[in-house]
Amino acid sequence: MLVLAPGQRLVAATHNPGKAREIAALLDGRFETVTAGSLGLPEPDETEATFIGNAVLKARAAADASGLVAIADDSGLSVVALGGQPGVLSARWAVAEEGAPRDFAYAMQRVNAALAASGSPDRSAFFTCALAVAWPKGPVVAVEGQVHGHLSFPPRGDRGFGYDPIFVPQGDARTFGELDPAEKDAISHRALAFEKLKQALW
């Protein structure tokens, strides 16, 4: 049976500081966590068509390169009126041109423009988070969580990261960008995926 032991050293396979903070918080201080960025590990190309596929790809790359058990997240925003876009391309929608840094203010404007062009009044959307834990040259465990809600423009709130300022979760009037981090961590797609992971591995 695969189990993660308390105090075990894990690599969080991310170069995103916001995502690294959320992963560390959701691990409840149970493990010693270092990031792929701090270890100088390269970011693999996310070539899979699903969140699970990309999470597994990133976890496998970090585990095999570091020799440590790695945890990876692949997450994104899916907009119903846009046929599920940006989906697995959520981070790429934040790049205005080849070689430019990610700019999620630009990405949110792009979503708003695409919705206007669609002519649909539907603003429903959902976040998906896939989590994968990989052992070096060994097995992988992967799970997925989702949180549903709707989009609101203009963006509101300076907490969180990515598309958080335009996403309002069901049952609330505030965007993820306006929620206290602890409130977001209690209901987010990442929190739901972590609950499944905890049930599987500790």
74 catalytic per annotation: yes
Q: Write down the catalytic residue from 28, 64, 73, 74.
A: 74
- Torsion angle in degrees (nearest 10) through CA of 44, 8, 189, 199: 130
Q: Which residue has the tokens 């907490």?
A: 159
Backbone angles phi, psi at 180, to 5 degrees: -60, 140
Backbone angles phi, psi at 95, to 5 degrees: -110, 110
Specify the DSSP element, H or E, that contains 103: none
Instruction: Please check whether residue 74 is in contact with residue 130, taking contact to mean a CB–CB distance below 8 angstroms.
Output: yes
Q: Which residues are catalytic?
A: 74
